[in-house]
Structure 1
Amino acid sequence: MVKKWKAEDALGFIYVWAWSVSMYPPIITNWKQKSSTAVSKDFAVLNTTGYFYLLISLTLQLYLWLPAPLSVKDGRKPVDTRPKVTQFDFWYCLHGCVMNLVLVSQVIYGKKLWKFKADNHQIRMRPYYHKFWIISLVVFAMLTVRFGFQIFFQGWDNQRTLSYCNSLFVLKISMSLIKNMPQAFHNYERKSLKGFAIQSVMLDITGGVTSLLQLVSQISNDQGFSATTLAANFGKIGLALVTLVFDFIYVSQWLIYRDAELGAASSNIIKLS
């Protein structure tokens, strides 16, 4: 029997499609222009690391979560604290990890692997972003060792799993927050978005909005909104909100610098005529 799609399934498909497709324009643009100067190296490295954290978190929540008991001792139905993550989230994240690794290869090894032309791209990560990246890796290692010891000595438990997954979500959100700063500043320094795939931003906005709408639909159709459900899903909410904030910054930069570039082009035409 064919499963009938619900509204939340359609929303899930839309945001996974939008977020997945949004990863292709930068890669294709770099390949066409034989250059990756429009992409900040800091952005590419931090973004890839954030996806790695998110992939681990989603894998634990989807495939290693213990089923909730049917009832508690007093006969009441237990509250399911499992975050509202789906297969859509997992496959989008796995795809995102792969595509970000491709983007990193263009930014770091573009000349060797992709035969890009030599250009004045930043060679190393900026010190403050590099330090933040190293600190996040150290924190991830400490959290993982702590979680491993808890599981080994105390057994598998959903609350410990949720605590670890939420910590990974915090790392991912911090990566999403920090990763966009060098890209926004990179655009500001260049005073141009030439080579920057604005199509990705538009698709990103579509994905962020539909992701939030799907979450609202899931929670309202299940146990309803409460402090418990919001706490369990704060990672997904936080990621979508941070993404949308910076997407609107990119759109504003595109509008400002596009007008400036059009004005400069018009003045050059007038001078030539």
Structure 2
Amino acid sequence: MVPEKYGFILLYLIAIWDLGSGENVTVKFSKSSLDIEVRENHTLIITLSDNLTRDADLIFTYSDKYEDVYSNILPIPNISIDSKEGLTSWQINVVGDNPGHVILGLDSNSSEIQDIKKAFVRIDVVHSSPLVIINAVIGWIYFAAWSVSFYPQVYVNWKRKSVVGLNFDFLCYNITGFLAYGFFNVGMYWVKEVSDEYFRHHPRGINPVQLNDVIFTLHAVLITSITIFQCFLYERGTQRVSYVCRILVAAAWLFAGISLVVTLVKKITWLTYLYYFSYIKLGVTLIKYVPQAWMNYKRKSTMGWSIGNVLLDFTGGSLSLLQMFLLSYNSDDWSSIFGDPTKFGLGFFSILFDILFIIQHYCLYGGKNPYEEITDKEVEINASTTESSRYSY
């Protein structure tokens, strides 16, 4: 009787093991992203982490970043899984049909497969693969141009041992904008709580902040801080930060401080709080060039304002817009430009100011000494000095 008892227990354990062997099975694609041309064929592998105990179907889904049903690839036959065969991987062919973006995902009638919504691949169908490489090169060029654009002004200040001609309002707005942008980028990229919250809202999205964005912002804050330090070190004449600038910057940081308190008491999320910093950056970009352009006009000179900074910024901005147009053409996705007028408008707005500075430097005031107004008191002093000099001989 004892052997029979143990035999029954053994059979019971085997049955339990068999029932539980298919639980918590996960599925994944061999790639998380894919770039293919129209009519190009590419192979992907789908893999299960374990065998299923029951027959099931893997059903392909097609959507865009807004989760709408959409497809720029030819339909892929669904996969029927025979649990008796013991297969755990399958090969599928992806063929580009129309330019655009599509997220290829999975669904299933099996309760054994867990978190199936996490299995997806982002597919970009393009007109030309070489154009993808060209766009990447353009991206690195304008990244380098924007990064180097901070140095000409530092060099000009050092060479002249003077910051006369460099508008302090511009610097104040600039450091405010880059600090706000830095808080946004660092929070989105390095703070796990924030990035987790972002992906809860956009489960199949991509973090909008990449490492190069963080490096660029930290570098911008550093070099702008050095430029501000030069204002205390070198000759600055009678220049100072205007009251208008002080009020606007104080209002921006007061808004950030109040929003922080609201965040700490959990009325808004940290993700929302960081978005507020991006709005501060956008506002600063709209106004930061105005004081410098007005100062050049009043002085009738660009002396002290580095044209190298302007030329590099113009190069970076122009290449950035060119890349936007090429990306839109290659993916036949013009909504990335006209559907987001803020991003396009700010880039175009900055280029317009660069053109204005170029005209001021090369056409209107190039090589001219700054114009200084003479007060009535100075006229009287000069007149009396001239009169006394006539009788000194």
Instruction: Report deviation, 1:129.
Output: 1.3
- Structure number with greater Rg is 2
Instruction: Report deviation, 1:230.
Output: 4.7
User: Does residue 120 of the first structure (1) align with residue 237 of the second (2)?
Assistant: yes
Q: 1:74-113, aligned counterparts within 5 Å?
A: 80=205, 82-83=207-208, 85-107=209-231, 109-110=232-233
User: Alignment partner of 1:203: what SS?
Assistant: helix
User: Does residue 43 of the first structure (1) align with residue 170 of the second (2)?
Assistant: yes
Hey, what does 2:299 align to over in structure 1?
190
Choose the corresponding residue for 2:276, options 167, 175, 184: 167
Instruction: Report deviation, 1:242.
Output: 3.2
Give the letter for the 1:138 counterpart: L
Instruction: Report deviation, 1:78.
Output: 6.1
Instruction: Report deviation, 1:224.
Output: 4.2
Q: 1:236-247, aligned counterparts within 5 Å?
A: 236-247=343-354
Q: Contact (CA 8 Å) 1:193, 1:258: kept in 2 or not?
A: yes
Instruction: Report deviation, 1:204.
Output: 0.2
Aligned-residue sequence identity (percent) comes to 27
Hey, what does 2:180 align to over in structure 1?
53
Structure number having the greater helix percentage = 1
Hey, what does 1:253 align to over in structure 2?
360
Q: Contact (CA 8 Å) 2:141, 2:316: kept in 1 or not?
A: yes
Q: Distance in 1 between matches of 2:338 and 2:186?
A: 20
Give the letter for the 2:362 counterpart: L
User: Alignment partner of 1:6: what SS?
Assistant: helix
Give the letter for the 2:149 counterpart: S
Q: Contact (CA 8 Å) 1:41, 1:125: kept in 2 or not?
A: yes
Q: Structure 2: which 5+ runs fail to align? A: 1-129, 370-393
Instruction: Report deviation, 1:52.
Output: 0.2
My pick for the range that moved more, 98-107 or 211-220, is 211-220
- The TM-score normalised by the length of structure 1 is 0.72
Does the C-alpha gap of structure 1 residues 88 and 52 become closer, same or farther in structure 2, counting only changes over 3 Å? same
Q: Contact (CA 8 Å) 1:54, 1:168: kept in 2 or not?
A: yes
Q: Distance in 2 between matches of 1:93 and 1:141?
A: 21
Q: Contact (CA 8 Å) 1:173, 1:238: kept in 2 or not?
A: no
Q: Distance in 2 between matches of 1:249 and 1:175?
A: 18
Does the C-alpha gap of structure 1 residues 228 and 180 become closer, same or farther in structure 2, counting only changes over 3 Å? closer
User: Does residue 144 of the first structure (1) align with residue 260 of the second (2)?
Assistant: yes
Q: Distance in 1 between matches of 2:302 and 2:144?
A: 24
Does the C-alpha gap of structure 1 residues 148 and 248 become closer, same or farther in structure 2, counting only changes over 3 Å? farther
Q: Distance in 2 between matches of 1:214 and 1:31?
A: 35
Q: Distance in 2 between matches of 1:6 and 1:147?
A: 42
Q: 1:126-137, aligned counterparts within 5 Å?
A: 126-137=242-253
Q: Contact (CA 8 Å) 1:147, 1:164: kept in 2 or not?
A: yes
Q: Contact (CA 8 Å) 1:219, 1:229: kept in 2 or not?
A: no
Count the aligned residue pairs. 235
* Per-residue Cα deviation, 1:134-181 (whole angstroms, up to 9, x for no partner): 11111122233333443xx78x6xxx62x4444322211211222211
The higher-RCO structure (CA 8 Å, 6+ apart) is 1
- The TM-score normalised by the length of structure 2 is 0.52
Q: Distance in 2 between matches of 1:89 and 1:259?
A: 35
Does the C-alpha gap of structure 1 residues 219 and 146 become closer, same or farther in structure 2, counting only changes over 3 Å? farther
Does the C-alpha gap of structure 1 residues 213 and 79 become closer, same or farther in structure 2, counting only changes over 3 Å? farther
Hey, what does 1:270 align to over in structure 2?
none
